[in-house]
Amino acid sequence: MTAVDIRTDPPLANANLAALWSAAWGNTGPADFQPMLTHSLVYLGAYDGTRLVGFVHVAFDGGVHAFLLDPTVHPDCRRTGLGTRLVTEAARLSAERGAEWLHVDYEPHLAGFYAGCGFRATEAGLLRLTP
């Protein structure tokens, strides 16, 4: 692996995101990622050469609250600090673009990762809207 380059709001083709999603999550994700990208406060792509190996995006409410979503790192690049780099840069850019709070939901086994990125645990609620 060469040095990974993190790019802000790069043009991302659905096929490239689907390939990363498939490697990282075992499915290709949404059929069309473009609406998600359009509604992001910021999104980041991490590249090893020309290959997309990481992604994260931040949605926002149009005010002071932003929401970290889909931090994704290709299995070949895990445990290299790339996930932390993506989250840290997404937080920095979110603040730069006007957000005052960055929210994230995560599964219990990821608590240490998010604490290491500076998040503190809070109580939150979740309502599933589809069966």
> If DSSP states are collapsed to H, E and C, what string results for 31-78?
CCCHHHHHCEEEEEEEEECCEEEEEEEEEECCCCEEEEEEEEECHHHC
Residue 131 has pLDDT above 80, yes or no: yes
pTM (predicted TM-score): 0.92
pLDDT at residue 125, rounded to an integer = 86
Residue 126 has pLDDT above 90, yes or no: no
52-77 tens-digit pLDDT: 999 999 999 999 999 999 999 999 99
The one-character DSSP state at 117 is T
81-115 tens-digit pLDDT: 999 999 999 999 999 999 999 999 999 999 999 99
Token pair for residue 38? 């359009």
Q: What is the CATH number of domain 5-116?
A: 3.40.630.30
